[in-house]
């Protein structure tokens, strides 16, 4: 797999809190130019991304409950609905880490299901924030996400500890099987990183270093 072949796997990402409208325009224009799958932004920027991407193959993603996941399910569901009205065509939500750690699995499931229902038929990815989780917790989070109707499970926000690893992608793919997508995000900085994660089972990559990746370069970007 060549570097330029990776573009259709990539969610071109801009999630910095200080991002401006002109930054979103730049990222969306890069997605059109390079053929990235999507542009992933905070919900306040979805309308801008959607405007620039009109007619392009790339679509806007909104993150929901980002980056902590510690919001009421109703708040996450409301944000998802509003983001979709603004033009989002995929939703990346952060699960309730505290509930998962407390083994309150019903609450975790309900939290995800509320966003899935609010977003239908737009697909929902569930961000696990794997750097905070044990392997057992990753397995449970993947199983709950699948049961709640999520379209993808995703490793990281890029704001927590660690990022995507081959080991985690292999584990997540083993749990969800072929019915649910796996998105690797956090620390994907080169084509070599990207290929390893795809071979491990990822079918989507979240990166702010997208242009460097498809150009065969290595980025110092943190996401």
Q: What is the pLDDT of residue 218?
A: 81
Give the Cα separation of 48 and 63 in Å (integer). 15
Please state the length of the chain: 223
- pLDDT tens-digit map of 59-102: 999 999 999 999 999 999 999 999 999 999 999 999 999 999 99
Q: Helix or strand or coil: residue 200? A: helix
DSSP classification of residue 55: T
Q: What is the pLDDT of residue 3?
A: 84
Q: Specify whether 154 is catalytic.
A: yes
Q: What is the pTM of this model?
A: 0.96
DSSP classification of residue 70: -
Query: From first to last of its 223 residues, what are the pLDDT tens digits of the chain?
Result: 788 899 999 999 999 999 999 999 999 999 999 999 999 999 999 999 999 999 999 999 999 999 999 999 999 999 999 999 999 999 999 999 999 999 999 999 999 999 999 999 999 999 999 999 999 999 999 999 999 999 999 999 999 998 999 999 999 999 999 999 999 999 999 999 999 999 999 999 999 999 999 999 887 766 6
DSSP 112-162: HHHHHHHHTTS-EEEE--GGG--HHHHHHHHHHHHHTT-SEEE---SSSS-
Q: What is the pLDDT of residue 219?
A: 78
Q: What is the pLDDT of residue 141?
A: 98
The third-level CATH classification (topology) of the domain covering 3-214 is TIM Barrel (3.20.20)
Active-site annotation holder among 76, 125, 146, 183: 183
Q: Specify whether 92 is catalytic.
A: yes
> What percent helix, strand, coil does the chain show, rounded to 5?
50, 15, 35
Active-site annotation holder among 125, 138, 154, 193: 154
Q: What is the pLDDT of residue 222?
A: 60
- pLDDT tens-digit map of 30-51: 999 999 999 999 999 999 999 9
What residue spans define the domains of the chain? Answer: 3-214
Q: Specify whether 125 is catalytic.
A: no
């Amino acid at each position: 797999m060549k570097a330029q072949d990776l573009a259709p796997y990539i969610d071109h990402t801009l999630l910095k809190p200080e991002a401006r409208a002109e930054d979103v325009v730049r990222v969306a224009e890069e997605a059109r130019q390079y053929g990235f799958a999507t542009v992933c932004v905070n919900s306040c920027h979805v309308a801008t991304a959607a405007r620039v991407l009109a007619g392009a193959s790339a679509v806007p993603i909104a993150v929901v409950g980002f980056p902590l996941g510690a919001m009421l399910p109703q708040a996450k569901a409301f944000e998802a609905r509003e983001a979709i009205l603004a033009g989002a065509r995929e939703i990346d939500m952060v699960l309730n880490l505290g509930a998962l750690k407390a083994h309150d699995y019903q609450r975790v499931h309900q939290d995800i299901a509320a966003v899935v229902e609010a977003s239908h038929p737009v697909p929902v990815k569930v961000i696990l924030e794997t750097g905070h989780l044990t392997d057992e917790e990753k397995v449970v989070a993947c199983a709950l996400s699948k049961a709640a109707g999520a379209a993808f499970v995703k490793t990281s926000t890029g704001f927590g500890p660690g990022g995507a690893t081959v080991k985690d992608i292999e584990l997540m793919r083993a749990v969800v099987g072929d019915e649910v997508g796996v998105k690797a995000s956090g620390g994907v900085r080169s084509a070599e990183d990207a290929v390893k994660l795809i071979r491990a089972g990822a079918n989507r990559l979240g990166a702010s270093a997208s242009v460097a990746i498809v150009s065969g370069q290595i980025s110092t970007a943190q996401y």
